A and B are shown apart, each in its own frame.
Chain A
């Protein structure tokens, strides 16, 4: 079965400092992995996705994530935090095997706070 574990429920950074949101996954086959962001009272938005192409994935708003099979990790990073980055971030794995995506399996979420 597939699962994801987000290692921090809450991360607080200062504006202009780097962001690291940690995610480990478990999958019995090569997974598709995603990071979604949810701003307060807004819908879920895709930040980036890994689907077995390049292991370093670049997303929107300066975020990127690196797929590390040996460490079963897919950590999300950004070099310099902005106030507008304050939101909840979800690490997600596809639940299906083979060509179909099936449902998504969400981590518990990491709430990112950005201090001025």
Chain B
């Protein structure tokens, strides 16, 4: 079956521009997560959606970062006024119910380069 998909796979932008990254989770998965992977910081949690509950935004590094999940499915991560330190691979994951025993399935990531 289809896994988690992300688009675009690569994004190059200029400092100060806004970018939108998209994630399509596995159909039927109620939990969706965004992570960031960078050379200096490793893999970091950004934000987590679970069903209709308010998202856990505790990992967002600044108010330039926001995310939404429409209709309990597709999610968009938006970075406003991008900075060079935002350059990283942005990973999306989904899990069936978000319980402790669940497996998180990861997408291939979006590589963001801010010039």
Chain A residues within CB distance 8 Å of chain B: 32, 36, 42-46, 49, 51, 90, 94-96, 98-109
Contacts and interface: CB of A to CB of B under 8 A. Distances in A.
Nearest to A108: B42
From A32, A36, A51, A103, residue with most partner B Cβ within 10 Å: A103
Contacts of B93: 44, 104
Nearest to B108: A43
Contacts of B44: 106
Interface string B71-115: 000000000000000000001010100111111111111000000
Contact of B100 (A45, A101, A109): A101
Contacts of A107: 42
A49 B48 CA distance: 20
Nearest to A97: B100
The dominant DSSP class at the A interface is: loop
Interface of B: 31, 33, 35, 42-45, 48, 50, 56, 59, 91, 93, 95, 98-109
Contacts of B104: 46, 101, 104
23 contacts: A43-B106, A43-B109, A44-B91, A44-B106, A46-B103, A46-B105, A51-B100, A96-B100, A100-B50, A100-B98, A101-B99, A101-B100, A101-B101, A102-B48, A103-B33, A104-B35, A104-B93, A104-B104, A106-B35, A106-B43, A107-B42, A108-B42, A109-B42
B59 A103 contact: yes
